[in-house]
Structure 1
């Protein structure tokens, strides 16, 4: 799903892992539903992730039994195939000359005798750059977990999708369905030439609304199936210039409707662009 140059797990010491693509197989998804999912908490007990994830799991997680663990428990269980892991991973990519590092939310399988780098990655979503505060994504976690569970079920139902780029499937299948949704956009995520309703209306023919993060959070909480929202991952005001991810996610339904990224060349590229809007109209 993503080509890693380095994969770091947030522990008292770090695992430095060389580049590897571990494409999951059908048996990995089949084995996953038989496991207990261990949610690895961040070292900082006051992190937004730790404060939010307990309630989100309680309200959202249905595929497997689960419990929360710390770093030491992860090390003890990571080779035990009776367990899977939901955790934040930190990744950098060989194509990023700046060696920018990103947070991903990852669903991994334990596997006996395997090193950390070889753990099957069932699904990963970009959350933020490492330097960006976690409150930029923590209020979206419930929607992300609904999607990840739905993605696992999709792979089980249609194994032909395993090994391919799943986001091509979502982009192709979901674009037409946006016509029946209201697209929530946070103004700070938008490029300057599409940051007003009038400018968006000239390009985008479907329902949309420029909203606050609180309104996105409320739509997710209410499971508004008529609403989709933009999740943008960029460097924000940091000096690093690398990937800018743009993901459109269902606030109520467990779907992704658009997934893409571009490499930044200038600060203004850290935004949902006119060309992105044209792709989904």
Structure 2
């Protein structure tokens, strides 16, 4: 029999007496009241399955992040920071299709073809470890310069986890209407777009609308998108499984939202948005 790490030998002795309906001394009764019952109540209040699952999941997270660090640092020697963001972080790795990774280097990688070569190389290695990843690669100066004016980066890095190094970003965000207008231009799609492209365009518009309201909140972004378009339709668009009717509905919503949001931005493109 394993030694108990919860109850003392004396407490186990009293529990044994009680279970066998033996008479308890006053000392035994005191142990039962002061120590044993409170411990049993606390044990009963614990959801052991939840705790075990959480501990097991934490081990999984540790393993994934360890592999990411090892593979990225082996491929790139000039790393300033490795950052995970997106749905993996927002759901604590419970609901995600791929892991969004931002790699920040100390110096600019040139030529630019070498940068994309590194991204492809890292993604291929991660795939061999059953890790599907979406990777962005910036140098330190570029991320520090672009972040305050980039609606995408502001939202992407709202929920983040730095798993290596340090990421120093300005707390002060300096967005102007022109930044939102440029972001909105990405939602003006070419003819016959794929479902995933329609989804991204819709998400893009909702993101801009929230920034106009001075809201930076990924959960609110998901909720607003679901409210405007519908969760089931969005899932079909994301997976390129939309019907012809789905496309008509989604493109009609896209056109309406785009026109509304352009009006909200207005003509004062250099008007600053205080966040």
Task: Give the structure with higher Rg (CA).
Answer: 2
Q: What TM-score comes out, normalization by structure 1 length?
A: 0.25
Q: Which has the higher strand share?
A: 1
- Of Structure 1 and Structure 2, the greater helix share is in 2
Task: State the TM-score, normalizing by the size of structure 2.
Answer: 0.26
